[in-house]
Structure 1
Amino acid sequence: MAALPSLLLPLLLLLLFSFSADATHTPRTLHVPVLHRDAVFPPAHTADAARYTAQLASLSSTTDSDDQLRSPVISGLPFDSGEYFAIVGVGDPSTRALVVIDTGSDLIWLQCAPCRHCYRQLTPLYDPRSSTTYRQIPCASPRCRGVLRYPGCDAGTGSCVYMVVYGDGSASSGNLATDRLVFPEDTHAHNVTLGCGHDNGGLFESAAGLLGVGRGELSFPTQVAATYGRVFSYCLGDRMSRAKSSSSYLVFGRTPELPSTAFTPLRTNPRRPSLYYVDMVGFSVADERVTGFSEASLALDPATGRGGIVVDSGTAISRFARDAYVAVRDAFNSRAAAGGMRKVAHNFSVFDACYGLRRKETVRVPSIVLHFAGGADMALPPANYLVPVQGGDRRMYFCLGLQAADDGLNVLGNVQQQGFGVVFDVERERIGFAPNGCST
C-alpha cells in the first residue's frame, strides 16, 4: 500500500545493508491463522469494551503443532476497511496490537505513547517505556542511513527518525527502534526493526499500525529470512462471510504446495523494487478471450517502471490499464445482458458497471478468468468481482469490482485474491495462486 493510490473504499463495508531479526523457540514455519471478524469484533448490538478485551486476550492462546506459529488475522469489514489484520504482541511485557497486513510496503510501525497525534485504535496503545526490550536506533546506524528512504535525526537524543507517507495521504512518523514481536506458543522474533509512531493519521482507523511484508530490507519477511527463508503465503478469507470459523492463514516459511497451485514469474521493477510484480497476458469473460486492448499495458517495462501487476494485500479493488479495463467491462456488460442481468444507468462511486437484481430473479453471471505469464490462471468466483453496494434508495446493487488505472500502476487487490492461496516465493522468483486455498 505504501506506493499505491488510495483504494480503501468505505462503501465496501469491508497493508543497502542486510540485517535480520533473531528468533527463539523457532518452529519451521511461522503460521498466522485467519479468524472470522466476529471472533474479535462481535456485532455492534452486543459489543462493548470489556468483551473486546476479553476476546482479544483469548486469541493469544491459539494452539497448533510444534512446527507452526499462530496469531489471529481478520477482515477489516466490521470497521469499514478493505484491509486484513493480524494480532501480534509487541515488547516485553508484550502489548497486543492489531496491525494491517500489507504486501505493498516494508516498514513495520505502531502508534506509540506518548502520542502527539494519534487516531483511535481498538487495541491498547504501545508504550515503549514499559518494554524492557525496546531500543532506539542511533542516527549513524546503517539501519537508519542505509535503509530508510527519508531518514532524519532527533538532535536531542541522537536517535533515528522515520517518516512514511502512503498513496492515500495516510502517514506515520516517529523513532526507528527495535523490539520483539510475540506470537502464540511463546515464539518470539527478537530485535525486529520497527517504527514507533508519535505522529500518525489517515485511513488507518482502528488498527494499531502496519505489518509491512514487502520485499525491502525493513519488511518483516526480510528480517526473519535467516530463520524462515524468503517465502511466505496467505489465504485471505471471504470478507462477507458470516461463518464463525475460518481456516484462512498467513505463513512465513516454506510449506507443502497445494497441487492446484499455478505459478507465474516474479518480476522486479527497478523503480519500485519493494513491490511484488507479475505479468498478465489477458482476460477471459464467459470462456471467451477478451480482445481490443494492448497486452503491452499489462506487461512490466523495467525501463519506464510502467505496467506489470502488483500483487497487494493492502489494496481492496484491482485496477488495470484503462484500455484493458474498458475491454473487460464491455465484454462483461454484453454477456451479463445476455444472461438477464439489468445494468443500471447510474454509477456508484468508482464503479461504472452496476446491476439491479430482483428477488427470486434467475440470471446467468458471466465468468471472469485472469491469465498470467507462464500459464497461471485465476478463475474468479463471482464474489471476487461482483461487489454489493447499497444505493441511496436503500436497495442493494452489484457492481463489477474492478477499476481503470491511468498512471501505469496495475494492482491485483485483495477482493480478487480472497479465497486463493497466494505464495510469495522470492527465493525461486515466482508467485503462485491456488483456488480454494483457505480450505486446506
Structure 2
Amino acid sequence: MLGSWFMETRRSLLLVLVSFLAFAAPDVTTGVTYSSRLIHRFSDEARLLRVPRNDGVVRWPERKNLEYYELLVNSDFQRQKMKLGSKYNLVFPSQGSKTTSFGNDFGWLHYTWIDIGTPNVSFLVALDVGSDLLWVPCDCVQCAPLSASYYSSLDRDLSEYRPSGSSSSRHIACSHQLCESSPNCKSSKQQCPYTIDYYTENTSSSGLLVEDILHLASIGDHTVNTSVQASVIIGCGMKQSGGYLDGVAPDGLMGLGPGETSVPSVLAKVGLICNSFSMCFDEEDSGRIYFGDKGPPTQQSTHFLPSDGKYETYIVGVESCCFGNSCLKQTGFSAVVDSGTSFTFLPNAVYDRIAKEFDRRINATITSYPGYPWKYCYKSSSQELPKVPHLKLMFPLNNSFVVFNPVFMVYGIQGVSGFCLAIQPMEGDVGTIGQNFMTGYRMVFDREQMKLGWSTSNCQDLADGKRMSLSPDGTPVNPLPTNEQQSTPGGHAVAPAEAGRAPPSKPSAAAPTRPRQFIYLQMLPLLVLLHVVVSSFPLDTGSTTHG
C-alpha cells in the first residue's frame, strides 16, 4: 500500500512539473527579445555598406526609375529559382565532358571544345580557375595563328568568332551591371570594353563584351543526354598579347573563377545547376569537366579563405608539408588553387625546406637541363624512375592531399633521360597549387559551401560510367619535348596566365559559429528541482518484496 502511494504521488508531481515546464518555457523564451533594423537593399544606408568594384565605383540605381524596378524584379526571379533548386544534376560542353592537354604545344594546360552562337561555332578553349571571363578570338586585330598547320597537335583549324554572324549575339552596353569598364565609357549605350591583364608578364586579352548562347548537354537521374542552351557573357577578344600569341590558349580561354561573369556563376544564377563544378586530371593528359558536380560523399575537403574579406579566387590554407609520416616544420602557407597554372609555385622559405628534404630522400645524381625552369633535376640511369617520395599537404581537421608524383619527366631521343622536382620558388606568402599537383584527382570547387573537395579518380565519364580512352601502349600521350621539339613554335614550357588573382595578402579564417542554446540556461533551476523530486522517490523496478 505504501509503495503504491509513493508511486501515485511521484506520477502526480511529475505531471505537475512537466505541465509547469511546458507553460514556463514559452515565458522564458519570450523573455529574451531580439531586434534588428531592416534596411532596404537600395537605400542610402545600404549604399554605404556596398563594397566598391575594382574601379572603385559603386553602381546604384536611382530610386523609382525603370532600372530600379527591373533590378528588384530580377532579384525576385533569382530567389525563386534558388528555392526551386537546380534544374540539372550535371551539365557539360555539348561536344562532351572530356578535356585534353596537348603538352608542350599549348603550354601544358587542359582544353575542351565548346560551341558558341547561332549557328554554333566550335572553339578549343583553355580551362582556367584563376580567372572569370570566357573569351575567344573575335574580329581579330592581333590574335594567335588559327591554322592547324601551325600546331603539330591539331587536325583541324581553330575558329574566329564574329558576333555579326550569330543571330543570338547581343552587345553588352556600358550600363550593364557586369560591365566593369563603365567609368571609361563615353555613354551608357556604348558597347562595354574589357581588358584583362594576366599574371604572366605582358600577357593580356582585350576587346568588347557580348552575350551569346553557350551550347551544353546534361545528364539526369532517368534521362539520356539533353541539349541545354545558356546565355553567357563572352569576351570578343580582338587583341591578345604575350603568351596568348605564343602557343597558350590560341583559341580562347574559359574562366572558371568565383566572379559573376564566369560560366559556373552564370549557370548557377539562372538555376540550371547547383553552384559547384569539378575538374579531373588523369595520368594520360586527359580529364573531365562537369558543372553542378558536388563530388562524392567520401571526398576530403578544406574551406576556401577570403583575401581582404572577399572571395575573388580559390585560396586554401596548408598547415604543413610532409614526406610520408614526417612533417616538416614551418611549411604552412596559403595557396591559390589554379588549373590555369601548369606547375606549382611555393613561397621561398617553404620551397627551400621541401626541396632540400626531397633531395635528401631521392637516390639519383643531381644535374641540370638547359631550358628547364627547375633547380632540382636528376639523371635517370634506366627507363624507369627511381622511387620518388610522395609529398603530402596537410589541411585543417587532418585532411590530406597526397601529390603522388611531384616530378616532371625529361625525355630525350632514346626515351627517359631524367626528371625534375616540378616546383618553383616565388616571392610573397601566397603560393600557387598548379595543375601538375592535381593529376589523379577529381577536384571539386564547391562555391555554395565555399570549399575545395578532392578524391582520387581515373576520370571516368559520369554520363555513361565508361573510363576515358587511354593511349594504346599506356605511355603518356604528351611526354616532355625533345630538344628538337623545343625548337618548334610554342615549343617551350610556358607557365600559363592567370587572371583575377587575389593580392598576396594573408587570407583571413572564417569566423566560428556561436551556439544559440544559451537561452535555456534560464530554465536550469526548474530542471534541478525536477531532478531532486524524481531522485527522492524509489524507482519501480517491477519486483515484489514479501515480508
* Structure 1 position 88, deviation (Å): 0.8
| Aligned counterpart for 2:328 among listed residues 284, 287, 290 | 290
Q: Deviations over 1:393-423 (max 9, x none)?
A: 9972200011112133311100110110111
Q: 1:362 and 1:106 mapped to 2: Cα distance?
A: 38
Alignment of 1:252-291 (within 5 A): 252-255=291-294, 257=296, 259=298, 261-270=299-308, 273-291=311-329
Letter of the 1:189 counterpart: Q
Where does residue 390 of structure 2 map in the other structure? 367
3-state SS of 1:332 partner: helix
Q: Which runs of 5+ in 2 are unaligned?
A: 1-57, 60-70, 147-156, 218-224, 463-547
Where does residue 48 of structure 2 map in the other structure? none
Q: Is the 8 A contact 2:374 2:421 kept in 1?
A: yes
Where does residue 180 of structure 1 map in the other structure? 213
* Structure 1 position 154, deviation (Å): 7.0
Aligned length in residues: 361
Where does residue 192 of structure 2 map in the other structure? 160
* Structure 1 position 78, deviation (Å): 5.6
Deviates more, 1:202-211 or 1:176-185: 202-211
Q: 2:428 and 2:280 mapped to 1: Cα distance?
A: 29
* Structure 1 position 124, deviation (Å): 1.7
Q: Is the 8 A contact 2:208 2:235 kept in 1?
A: yes
Q: Is the 8 A contact 2:302 2:396 kept in 1?
A: yes
Q: Is the 8 A contact 2:175 2:188 kept in 1?
A: no
Letter of the 2:90 counterpart: T
| Aligned counterpart for 1:126 among listed residues 161, 178, 184 | 161
Letter of the 2:162 counterpart: D
3-state SS of 2:192 partner: strand
Q: Is the 8 A contact 1:258 1:434 kept in 2?
A: no
* Structure 1 position 270, deviation (Å): 2.5
| Aligned counterpart for 1:414 among listed residues 417, 429, 435 | 435
Q: 1:323 and 1:376 mapped to 2: Cα distance?
A: 23
Q: Is the 8 A contact 1:286 1:335 kept in 2?
A: no
- Give the structure with the larger helix fraction: 2
* Structure 1 position 26, deviation (Å): 5.8
| Aligned counterpart for 2:367 among listed residues 344, 355, 359 | 344
Where does residue 8 of structure 1 map in the other structure? none
- Give the structure with the larger strand fraction: 1
Where does residue 511 of structure 2 map in the other structure? none
| Aligned CA distance change for structure 1 residues 116 and 345 (closer, same or farther; 3 Å) | closer
* Structure 1 position 349, deviation (Å): 3.2
Q: 2:383 and 2:120 mapped to 1: Cα distance?
A: 52
Deviates more, 1:191-200 or 1:373-382: 373-382
Where does residue 214 of structure 1 map in the other structure? 257
Q: 2:429 and 2:456 mapped to 1: Cα distance?
A: 28
Where does residue 229 of structure 1 map in the other structure? 274
3-state SS of 2:312 partner: coil
| Aligned CA distance change for structure 1 residues 196 and 290 (closer, same or farther; 3 Å) | same
Q: 1:322 and 1:216 mapped to 2: Cα distance?
A: 29
* Structure 1 position 239, deviation (Å): 5.2
TM-score under structure 1 length normalisation: 0.74
Q: 1:171 and 1:333 mapped to 2: Cα distance?
A: 37
TM-score under structure 2 length normalisation: 0.60
Q: 2:425 and 2:328 mapped to 1: Cα distance?
A: 16
Asked if 1:238 is matched to 2:264, the reply is no
Q: Give the structure with higher Rg (CA).
A: 2
Letter of the 1:278 counterpart: V
| Aligned CA distance change for structure 1 residues 161 and 30 (closer, same or farther; 3 Å) | same
Where does residue 356 of structure 1 map in the other structure? 379
* Structure 1 position 345, deviation (Å): 5.9
Q: Is the 8 A contact 1:341 1:364 kept in 2?
A: no
Q: 2:364 and 2:103 mapped to 1: Cα distance?
A: 27
* Structure 1 position 434, deviation (Å): 0.7
Letter of the 2:214 counterpart: L
Asked if 1:83 is matched to 2:109, the reply is yes
* Structure 1 position 30, deviation (Å): 0.7
Q: 1:202 and 1:353 mapped to 2: Cα distance?
A: 28
* Structure 1 position 143, deviation (Å): 2.0
| Aligned CA distance change for structure 1 residues 280 and 255 (closer, same or farther; 3 Å) | closer
* Structure 1 position 141, deviation (Å): 1.9
Where does residue 116 of structure 1 map in the other structure? 141
Q: Is the 8 A contact 1:180 1:188 kept in 2?
A: no
| Aligned CA distance change for structure 1 residues 167 and 78 (closer, same or farther; 3 Å) | closer
| Aligned CA distance change for structure 1 residues 392 and 165 (closer, same or farther; 3 Å) | farther
Q: Which runs of 5+ in 1 are unaligned?
A: 1-15, 33-58, 61-69, 241-245, 299-307
Where does residue 7 of structure 1 map in the other structure? none
| Aligned CA distance change for structure 1 residues 272 and 76 (closer, same or farther; 3 Å) | farther
